[in-house]
């Protein structure tokens, strides 16, 4: 996706989400990560450009945040319809958000770890990526708790528990599922794009597991 198209989509949704949001404070809290992410992307665009796949996932994640900020996560109309159609007891848009909270960061963490040659591809890479995603999800739950303590009743829309006592645990479970699904479904495509971005095959230390390397030795 061309940068201009990416930015047009991003700012179009951002402007829409900022027009008469359900709750302005909730909008600011929900959209803040997308804005911070944009600043980081601009800051690192030359020193550490990302793969097209990751830029696309960041855009999708940002849109999910902006839609949730506009309506609040408990009142997104499409998921109200799904709730009623499936006879559910709550609006589950927040679970989509937390699934994406694991899905997109998994590819982000994977890209950084591979390209910076922090860890080799293989089982340990997947394990570390999943741990990072779970840690990030848990930290976000701490942020929600801090916001609730500081703002009292006004944090209800931001928390979006909808009376579900296991909301925090299920949020982290969905982030875990998102990370696993991302790794299983996108790792091969991601590797191809990383190699293309690097202008050739990945360095040996970042490109294969110990077992694969041992199998090539006489």
Residue spans of the domains in the chain: they are 3-216
- The whole-number pLDDT of residue 120 equals 80
Q: What's this model's pTM, rounded to 2 decimal places?
A: 0.85
Q: Which of 116-120, 181-185, 203-207 has the lowest mean pLDDT?
A: 203-207
The stretches of 46-152 forming alpha helices (DSSP H) are 52-71, 77-85, 93-115, 123-151
Is residue 176 predicted with pLDDT exceeding 90?
A: yes
Is residue 174 predicted with pLDDT exceeding 90?
A: yes
pLDDT band, very low/low/confident/very high, at 165 (cuts 50, 70, 90): low
- The whole-number pLDDT of residue 215 equals 42
| Percent of the chain scoring above 70 in pLDDT | 84
List Cβ neighbours of 28 (8 Å cut-off, separation of 6 or more): 69
* HSE toward the beta carbon, residue 139, CA cutoff 13 A: 8
pLDDT band, very low/low/confident/very high, at 161 (cuts 50, 70, 90): low
pLDDT in tens, 186-215: 999 999 999 999 886 765 555 444 444 444
By CB atoms closer than 10 A (0-12, 13-18, 19+), residue 51 is buried
Average pLDDT, stretch 174-195? 96
List Cβ neighbours of 187 (8 Å cut-off, separation of 6 or more): 110
Cβ(31)–Cβ(71) under 8 Å?
no
The position carrying tokens 């500081």 is 150
SS3 19: coil
CA dist 4 to 53, 55, 171, 210, Å?
16, 12, 33, 41
List Cβ neighbours of 140 (8 Å cut-off, separation of 6 or more): 101
């Amino acid at each position: 996706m061309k940068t201009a198209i990416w930015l047009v989509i991003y700012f179009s949704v951002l402007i829409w989400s900022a027009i008469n949001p359900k709750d302005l404070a909730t909008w600011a809290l929900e959209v803040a990560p997308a804005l911070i992410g944009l600043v980081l992307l601009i800051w690192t665009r030359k020193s550490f450009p990302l793969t097209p796949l990751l830029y696309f996932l960041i855009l999708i994640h940002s849109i999910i945040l902006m839609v949730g900020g506009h309506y609040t996560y408990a009142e997104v109309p499409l998921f109200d319809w799904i709730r009623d159609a499936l006879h559910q007891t709550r609006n589950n848009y927040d679970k989509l958000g937390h699934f994406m909270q694991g899905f997109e960061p998994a590819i982000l963490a994977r890209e950084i770890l591979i390209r910076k040659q922090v860890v080799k591809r293989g089982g340990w890479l997947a394990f570390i990526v999943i741990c990072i995603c779970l840690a990030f999800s848990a930290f976000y739950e701490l942020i929600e708790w801090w916001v609730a303590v500081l703002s009292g009743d006004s944090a209800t829309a931001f928390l979006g528990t909808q009376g579900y006592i296991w909301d925090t645990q299920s949020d982290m479970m969905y982030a875990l599922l998102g990370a696993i699904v991302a790794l299983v479904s996108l790792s091969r495509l991601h590797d191809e794009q990383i190699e293309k971005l690097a202008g050739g095959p990945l360095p040996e230390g970042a490109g294969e597991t110990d077992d694969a390397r041992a199998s090539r030795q006489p």
